[in-house]
Each structure stands twice: as C-alpha cells, then as structure tokens.
Amino acid sequence: MHKQVGIVGAGPAGLILSHLLQREGIESILIEKHSQEHVQERVRAGVLEQGTVELLVEMGVGERLRREGLIHYGIELSFLGRRHRIDFKELTGRGITVYGQNEVVKDLTKARMEEGGEIVFEAEDVSLHDVQTSRPSIHYRKNGGAEQVTCDFIAGCDGFHGICRPSIPAEILTVHERIYPFGWLGILAEAPPSSHELIYANHERGFALLSMRSPKVSRLYLQCEPEEELANWPDERIWEELETRLAVDNWKLTRGPIFQKGVTGMRSFVAEPMQFGRLFLAGDAAHIVPPTGAKGLNLAAADVRVLAAAIAEFYKFGNESLLKRYSEIALRRIWKAQRFSWWMTSILHRFPGENSFDHRRQLAELDYLTGSRAASQSLAENYVGLPFDPF
C-alpha cells in the first residue's frame, strides 16, 4: 500500500494533520497502537486557545465545540488569601475555551471516518524504515498479519513515549529537558464548578488549580510528590486540601463524587531538530510542557498547521523550502510556550529547598503581576495564544 503521508498516532496532532491534508487533496493514513476507545477516553488538556478553536471551526469540526465549550475571558490568581482576576478580554480582546481534549479527539475521529479517512487502530509492532530516502515506510502488524505502508512523508504524532522520535539517531538530536521536583494530583468530580473561571492558587502548602470539564464536572489539581501514592489520598483528604489551598473569605468549594484520580509528573522537554529525512515530529513526540500554561494540545495544533502547509507546498509547486524550515518555524513558537509554561510554574509552585527569601520574592512577583497592566497583559497574551508567525 502507498499513501502520500503516513501518520503515526491518532491523537489531536495526527488527526488535525490528516484533516488539513485532505483539504489540500493529499492522501494520508493514521496508524495508532491503541484502541479507538482508549484514545478517545484519555483525559488530557482542556483549555483551547482562541486560535486553536478558530482552526477547528475552519476545518468543519467545531460544531459541538461551539455548542458545548465553555468560553472564558479571564482567570483568577489566588495568593495570601485573596483573588485577583486577569481580564483577557479587556487586555487582549480574546479568550480561551474549556473543552476536553478527549472531546476534540472524538469530534476529529468521527469526522475523519465520515469523510472516508483511513485510521488503523490497535496496530502492533509499529516501526519506521528508510526515513532518509524518498520512499520511507511504516511496518506494523494487524490481526496477526504483517502490513507495510510506503509513503512520501511520515509524520510522527505518537506522543512522548512513541517510536518516532527514537527512530532518529541519537547523535542527530539535541534534547533540552527539565524535570520538576513535584507532580499534580488530578481529579475529576461530579460537581458543578465552584467558579466560573479557572483559579490558580499559590499557597504555603503548595499549588492548587480549580478547573472544569463541563457545567457538571469539575477538574481539580493539587501539587504533590512526583511519585505520590494514590492510596495516601482518600477523597476526604483531597477535598480538605483543596479547600485549604483555594480558600478565600465567603467562598466554598463544591464537592461531589470523585470518579477519576491520577498523578502526573511535571517536565519541560524539547527535542530538536523536529525532522530527519522524510520524518517530521509533531506534538508530544517532539516537546512536552508543564500543564500550568495550558499549551500542550495548542502547540500540537500549531505544529501540524505548519507541517500541513509545508507538505501542501511540496505537492503544489514541488518546493521543499518550507519543509526544510519546519523545525525552525515550529520551534520559535514552542520555545515561547516553554518559557511561558516554565514561568507560570515557577511563580505558583513551592520548590524543595527554597527559603523565606524565595517565598517572599515569589509573592512579590505575583503582587507585581496583578498590579501592573503591562505584566497582566503579558500573561494574558501568552495564555490566550500568541499570533502565528508568518511562514
């Protein structure tokens, strides 16, 4: 079998890329090692930049997003027992939309299948071959049989633990990484959100975040040890700790049954270049950001927006100049998002080994941030999403 583009991974990056390519009349196939149910039910990011929303709507997959997504025009920062609102609309004229990544994947998968797109779920033993040639291939097993797809290009959209990045020789890649000395204990609860907007809390006991997935489901996080045992966190302890870290006068946290718990480690990671021969990395296969800045899915969408344009230019004009610049263009945005995500993480979390000077400096930065229009505007511009650089 031959396809113009073989895409490894049927998460947001791979699915968006496949849609964008189809709009240009370019054939692709998606190869995914997990089941459709697993891919669609993974709970991941839930904050979409306005640019990401506009892209999904323009692609024709934004109907349910527009109907069910929760549009927010600000966030609240909580410290020293007080809350301070950052007004995105007043500062930038833009906002964000809360809509779960798994819902985005459901919408994209449904549309891909309705349009006749090819998705191979539960592919086993996936491997890449001849990526430095003009005829790279993807090998895999399905239902016990060996399969092979030759391609003009391969897009590695298979996440941090996928097989695509390791297919690039180690001596070619430069890896930049920071592992944070804490994690996030995240829960989903059948409880109406206790706030209309996200609340980011800096507290002496550690960071906390109040978010949501729908008008009936709350998503909440607590800073914890990176290898925290969930057994140490019964429901009652979680609710008490959330109430402590998020507390302000005359406000009460809405409780409800917790139906999912998990601990997420925190890291910043970038591998560059994001291309090798005819293999191009996108999304988590190339970079990871701490979730504090809400950039993961949005960066994946930005990557494949560039990649789709570059592949389309190749087929229309035989021009490889944009393909050759893919890493350069994508990494400019990625490093800006890394800077912002690191900064948000650094001002909101407690780090082991810090002393009273570090804590007071952190509070002073939050005080300046919430008292300065220029500082607030910088946060707002980054949070709602920076403009796309011209190709």
Which residues are paired to 218 by β-bridges?
189, 212
pLDDT at 150 over 70: yes
Residue of 290, 295, 326, 349 with catalytic role: 295
Buried b (16+ CB within 10 A) or exposed e, 31-58: bbbbebeebbeeebbbbbbbbbbebbee
Residue of 12, 136, 193, 291 with catalytic role: 291
Contact 381, 92 (CB under 8 A): yes
Q: Let me know if 140 is a catalytic residue.
A: no
Q: Let me know if 287 is a catalytic residue.
A: no
- Distance in angstroms (rounded) separating the CA atoms of residues 280 and 165: 9
pLDDT at 45 over 90: no
pLDDT at 42 over 80: no
Give per-residue pLDDT as tens, 295-345. 999 999 999 999 999 999 999 999 999 999 999 999 999 999 999 999 999
Whether 2-74+96-178+267-356 shares its CATH topology with 182-265 is answered no
The overall pTM is greater than 0.85:
yes
Q: What is the mean pLDDT of residues 94-116?
A: 95
Which residue bears the tokens 């999304």? Answer: 283
Q: Let me know if 2 is a catalytic residue.
A: no
Length in residues, the chain: 391
pLDDT at 43 over 70: no
Q: Residue 13 corresponds to which tokens in the numbers above?
A: 């990056």
Q: What is the mean pLDDT of residues 204-221?
A: 95
Residue of 72, 203, 287, 349 with catalytic role: 72
CATH superfamily of 2-74+96-178+267-356: FAD/NAD(P)-binding domain (3.50.50.60)
Contact 151, 4 (CB under 8 A): yes
Give per-residue pLDDT as tens, 234-276. 999 999 999 999 999 989 999 999 999 999 999 999 999 999 9
| Domain 182-265 is found in CATH 3.40.50.1370 | no
Backbone angles phi, psi at 31, to 5 degrees: -115, 120
Q: For position 391, what pLDDT does the model report? A: 78
Give per-residue pLDDT as tens, 59-78. 999 999 999 999 999 999 99
Q: Let me know if 73 is a catalytic residue.
A: no
Q: For position 382, what pLDDT does the model report? A: 98
Backbone angles phi, psi at 129, to 5 degrees: -140, 145
pLDDT at 44 over 80: no
Q: For position 300, what pLDDT does the model report? A: 97
Q: For position 233, what pLDDT does the model report? A: 97
Give per-residue pLDDT as tens, 164-207. 999 999 999 999 999 999 999 999 999 999 999 999 999 999 99
Q: For position 90, what pLDDT does the model report? A: 98
Residue of 99, 180, 221, 383 with catalytic role: 383
User: What SS3 string covers 227-249?
Assistant: CCCHHHCCHHHHHHHHHHHHCCC
Q: Let me know if 72 is a catalytic residue.
A: yes
Residue of 73, 99, 180, 200 with catalytic role: 200
pLDDT at 361 over 90: yes
Would you list the domain boundaries of the chain? 2-74+96-178+267-356, 182-265
